[in-house]
Amino acid sequence: MEVQLEAPGGLRRELRVRVPAEQVSKAVDERLKRMASRAKVPGFRPGKAPMKVIQQQYGDSARLDAVSDLVNQTYPEALSQAGVAPAGQPRIDITAETAGEALEYVAHFEVYPEITLQGLDAMKIEKPEVEVTEADVDRLVDNLRKARRGFEVVERAAADGDTVTVDFVGKIDGEAFGGSEGKDVRLEIGQGQFLPDLEAGMVGKSAPADFVVDVTFPGDYRREDLQGKTAQFEVSLKKVEAATLPEIDAEFLKGHNVDPDAGVDGLRSKCRQALEKERDKAVRNRLKQQVMDQLLAANPIEVPTALVEQETPRLQQEAASRMGLQNQKGFKPEQLDQMLPAQIFTPQAQRRVALGLLVGEVMKSEKIELDSSRVDTEIANIAADYEHPEQVRQYYQSRPDLLQGLRAMVLEEQVVDTLLDKVTPAAVTMTLDALLQPPQPPAQASAE
């Protein structure tokens, strides 16, 4: 077998393979013999037809099958002979396939980039220093009470924080427009559920009341036909309700798994522990994002298109799952590309692939191996949040797919720890609110 490797550019490779005619003829003959043993030819008993007849009737089919088998058999051998490892599946083009002659084909594929890690000791990492304050605990306790709040109808004018029930219809130049009408709509004033002008127009009004509110749509409104326009909303205010917060009594404490004897102090202690746990997780995520961003920035690499194409559908499915599309009535899988076009995930897929390759290179260069005890600890931490932790642990242990995901996550955390050990993070004091703000979008990977 003759093998020739060519590099037309970048990560692309072309592997030209020539299989000797003798090997092809032998494969075709073997295929014909197998066909002959079970072929049903008119005028002959099954398996007894002469080979010449079998050749005439099944020769073309036998050759096609033999060529397919030979490509599948010789491709791995050709890769080994050429000393190359492809990234993804190849595209095979048969360039010569004539009876009695050699089989020639070209395998088109990409290879993994050669990576020489840089900048591992030059990272500039900031570590948030965050104190959980009494005010933070107060806010969480208030949020827990708001989550179980009730509502009572009031006769006074509506104010921020009240919930109103309204009918409305929006008109431009006296004509109603699509999506502008609502019946018995409940909204909490001040939460940004509706356009600011419309919410503000309800403040100071007492139910029942009918009035008109001028609403100007923002210049970047999601509907282009409404951007910058002013509409008149005819509003019928039907009811104003004020929120009533529950007392922190025995029932409330039991509902949050707090011993009633511990009282408010017990609830606050549990809230503080929860906030500290959330803080520690957020700090870790901040450190991890900085490490990954700087690893990528210091080591821009070309990523194989095939790997990006494999990653993109996973990102689509993750987005669809977050949006709950699969649970929507009438949703069909084939609609996914229309609702979430693959190309919008390409930059994120490129970043994931690039980071995966870089993390793998760090593991190899730093000789990092999986710490199984950390996997066990991670499972225990997950299980601790459930009522029956032992069942959760057993469930994870019985699911190879979940274990694989946890192992990959732990290995990535080990890589982060290794890189953090090479630098001294600078302490940055910030509030808990600032820490928990969504992180800025990361820089995208090179995909040249």
Query: How many C-beta neighbours within 10 Å does residue 170 have?
Result: 23
Q: pLDDT category, 443, cuts 50, 70, 90? A: very low
- Domains with residue ranges and CATH for the chain: 2-110 (3.30.70.1050), 126-131+255-435 (1.10.3120.10), 150-244 (3.10.50.40)
Q: pLDDT category, 448, cuts 50, 70, 90? A: very low
Residue 36: predicted pLDDT: 63
pLDDT in tens, 162-203: 999 999 999 999 999 888 899 999 999 998 888 899 999 999
Amino acid sitting at position 15: L
Residue 441: predicted pLDDT: 52
Q: Is pLDDT of 161 > 80?
A: yes
Contact 120, 422 (CB under 8 A): yes
Q: Compute the half-sphere exposure of residue 380: CA atoms within 13 Å on the CB side of its CA.
A: 6
Residue 55: predicted pLDDT: 65
Residue 280: predicted pLDDT: 96
Spell 213-242 as b/e; 16+ CB within 10 A means b. bebebeeeeeeeebeeeebebbbebbbbbb
Residue 50: predicted pLDDT: 59
Q: Is pLDDT of 406 > 90?
A: yes
Share of the chain above pLDDT 70, in %: 90
Residue 399 CA to residue 426 CA, distance in Å, equals 40
Residue 71 CA to residue 78 CA, distance in Å, equals 10
Residue 370 CA to residue 103 CA, distance in Å, equals 45
Spell 255-292 as b/e; 16+ CB within 10 A means b. eeebeeeeeeeebbebbbeebeebbeebbeebbbebbb
Residue 394 CA to residue 397 CA, distance in Å, equals 5
Strand partners, 242: 152
pTM of the model: 0.74
Share of the chain above pLDDT 90, in %: 73
pLDDT in tens, 135-155: 999 999 999 999 999 999 999
Residue 103 CA to residue 19 CA, distance in Å, equals 5
Mean pLDDT score across all residues of the chain: 89
3-state secondary structure of 80: helix
Lowest mean per-residue pLDDT among 45-49, 406-410, 412-416:
45-49
Per-residue three-class SS string for 302-316: CCCHHHHHHHHHHHH
Strand 175-188 relative to strand 163-172: parallel, antiparallel, unpaired?
Answer: antiparallel
Lowest mean per-residue pLDDT among 6-10, 254-258, 363-367, 442-446:
442-446
Span between the terminal Cα atoms of the chain, in Å? 34
Q: Give 428's contacts (C-beta < 8 A, 6+ positions apart).
A: 126, 127, 128, 129
pLDDT in tens, 34-58: 766 665 565 565 655 556 655 655 6
Residue 445: predicted pLDDT: 42
pLDDT in tens, 300-315: 999 999 999 999 989 9
Angle made by CA atoms 413, 415, 419, in degrees to the nearest 5: 115
